[in-house]
Structure 1
């Protein structure tokens, strides 16, 4: 079987349940990676979780049609889409090693705003003043969280680290727009396998060229150290956390893919914002992180503007720019 549109599915309650499980899994994934970031390189975590995730995904492939569903007429498209997801992941997690969990997550959630803007030149969509106004409000929230008026000493991190989650949001938005424009359709398990394969390839290249940690020597940038430090075999509890990352990654890829196949994105997408609330909870529960005033304002503005865009489009009964065709279910994690 090559890429082909699945039969229309309309199970909104099931889709909402799947997206909630997926967002819980994403928040646990972020929490585990931040917890392990002080002793292991990011590419080792990505390789380990993807190796376990792809094994789990291949099992699900058998239930969704067998090996033939992995065949595709568009290998280049799948590779490029997977590469964008990898960049979105790497930039986000590099920031997560340094930033509080809620800060990094809130900045990433500017992605729907970028999707709306990109839909104008790429998809030729007409975006009215209400949606543009909501996007502007959301970007004001991003700027407030960036605190351009603060000195480097007051920020506590470099400007580059603060920009990384925004780079992740832009990359993720570009992947969603590309998916929508090309009308790609595949089974959720096949999409999960494609993405996990790209993660394995990129993480493997990192190991070949930087696995001994030589590029991390002589730098005090915590994000770069997280990307480039030497591989260390996990022991004790850490070993189980690595295994948990793998199974959690498989759950994320499948749940989000299946959710967007089960109902329209106009119904499903707003529930992704539960991930932002969960990030605030994990940051407080594990590291005692309480968002500052700028972060709280940014969260409210970004979350409010994103929800307005979704609800506005649903009210007008128009497809969202960020609505992937049934069966794509793209995810940043």
Structure 2
């Protein structure tokens, strides 16, 4: 799951092409990260994966910060409380998303996670007092119909898993709104540093509390959160390295894309994660979306792309 920073920058063929490549590449890395975590979900506790991933990611991030022009000076912040709240929101969002992903087909989970633009639109009315017109509300309505198709009320454990992913999308939308409100004073490196730091601290605390497996009841859905920690076998090391490198590199790529290129141009490339999720589902996990899922995927992705495009058009009009 990406953390775009919506900050339009210079236009022109070269910057636009660079932004598109960054957005598509970052989204692809996030999809690889999701696939790797789902692959590891049958043997590890989620907080153990998050801790190992975060330690690897922090190593990569600190190297990049040290090599950047501003260095470690950019980690100073005037918004410590804002970062603390944002980290907590994103941590819960990640936890419930990957818990749902562990027992859901990747395509279904990805589709439900793409309801985030719909929720940002609805929440912006309450949190930012923005005006939302009838066309965007209609897009939200269509996206919610698609979500219902994916949720399939009465489908047992998969329904609960889908609701967790939906909750993750809501929390992710809240995190995005916080990013919008803080973007004038904080950089992409700063956002990433404090998020990863929070993940390291909180996943370590989770390990101390329930890392011995005392709360694990063996339930298919919740065991991923509560099972005991294990010593990773050598065969799993590449998967763990993959999650750490993908999440930090993908996050920085997507953030930089949105800092330099208009959201309306990038929106379709954000949704390249959807065909990738279908690809991983088929090739790695042997799952293929059925007709109902295809309908939900089309409605969610179509309405989400429209909303991002519409917001960018309205933003242009306000500037002129």
TM-score by length of 1: 0.88
Q: Which moved more, 1:110-119 or 1:75-84?
A: 75-84
The residue number in structure 2 matching 1:85 is 90
CA contact (8 A) 2:8 2:263 kept: no
- How far apart in 2 are the matches of 1:39 and 1:22? 27
**Contact 1:16–1:271 (CA under 8 A) maintained in structure 2:** yes
* Structure 2: gaps of 5 or more residues: 1-6
Using the TM superposition, give the Cα deviation of residue 156 of structure 1 relative to its aligned residue in structure 2, in angstroms: 5.2
* Conservation of the 8 A alpha-carbon contact between 1:58 and 1:189: no
Q: Which residue of 1 aligns with 2:152?
A: 147
User: Secondary structure at the residue paired with 1:221?
Assistant: coil
| Structure 1, unaligned runs of 5 or more | 1-5, 321-333
Give 1:117-128 correspondences, 5 Å limit: 117-128=122-133
- Matches of 2:119 and 2:131 in 1, distance apart? 15
Structure 2 partner of 1:277: 275
Asked if the contact 1:94/1:226 (under 8 Å) is kept, the reply is yes
The alignment yields a C-alpha RMSD, in angstroms, of 1.9
Residues 206 and 300 of structure 1, relative CA distance in 2, 3 Å threshold? same
Paired position in structure 2 for 1:31 = 35
Closer, same or farther: CA 62–256 of 1 in aligned 2, 3 Å: same
- The answer on whether the counterparts of 1:313 and 1:319 sit within 8 Å (CA) in structure 2 is no
Task: Decide which of 74, 98, 113 is 2:79's aligned counterpart.
Answer: 74
- The residue number in structure 1 matching 2:255 is 257
Residue 52 of structure 1 corresponds to: 56
Structure 2 residue aligned with 1:331? none
Aligned residues: 308
Q: Structure 1 pair 108/138, CA: closer, same or farther in 2 (3 Å)?
A: same
TM-fit CA distance, 1:80: 1.1
Q: How far did 1:183 drift?
A: 4.4
CA distance in 1, matches of 2:144, 2:72: 44
TM-score by length of 2: 0.91
Q: How far 1:253 sits from its partner (Å)?
A: 2.1
Q: Which residue of 1 aligns with 2:143?
A: 138
Among candidates 28, 41, 45, match of residue 45 of structure 2: 41
Measured at CA, do residues 214 and 297 of structure 1 come closer, stay the same or move farther in structure 2, by a change above 3 Å?
A: same
Residue deviations 1:108-165, cap 9 Å, x none? 11010000001112111111111100100000111111112x4xxxx25253222001
Matched with 1:168 is: 168
Aligned counterpart, 1:247: 245
Deviation at 1:53, TM superposition (A): 0.4
Q: 1:13 aligns with which of 11, 17, 21?
A: 17
- The 3-state SS of whatever aligns with 2:271 is helix
Counterpart of 2:215 in structure 1 is: 215
Q: Identify the range of structure 1 (29-38 vs 305-314) with the bigger mean alpha-carbon deviation.
A: 305-314
Residue 81 of structure 2: SS of its match in structure 1? Answer: helix
Pairwise CA distance, 1:314 = 3.5
The C-alpha deviation readout for 1:20-74, integer Å capped at 9, x for no partner, is 1111111111111111111111111100010010111011112221111111111
| Partner residue in 2 for 1:113 | 118
Work out the CA distance in 2 between the residues paired with 1:313 and 1:80.
Answer: 26
CA contact (8 A) 1:123 1:181 kept: no
For the 8 Å contact 1:97–1:223, the answer to whether it is kept is yes
Question: What secondary structure does 2:268 align onto?
Answer: helix
Indicate the residue corresponding to 1:205 in structure 2: 205
Work out the CA distance in 2 between the residues paired with 1:122 and 1:184: 18
**Residue in 1 aligned with 2:186?**
186
- The equivalent residue for 1:63 is 67
- Quick check: 1:9–1:261 contact (8 Å CA) kept in 2? no
Once the two structures are superposed, residues 286-315 of structure 1 have per-residue CA deviations (whole angstroms, 9 ceiling, x without a partner) of 112111222111000001111121223344
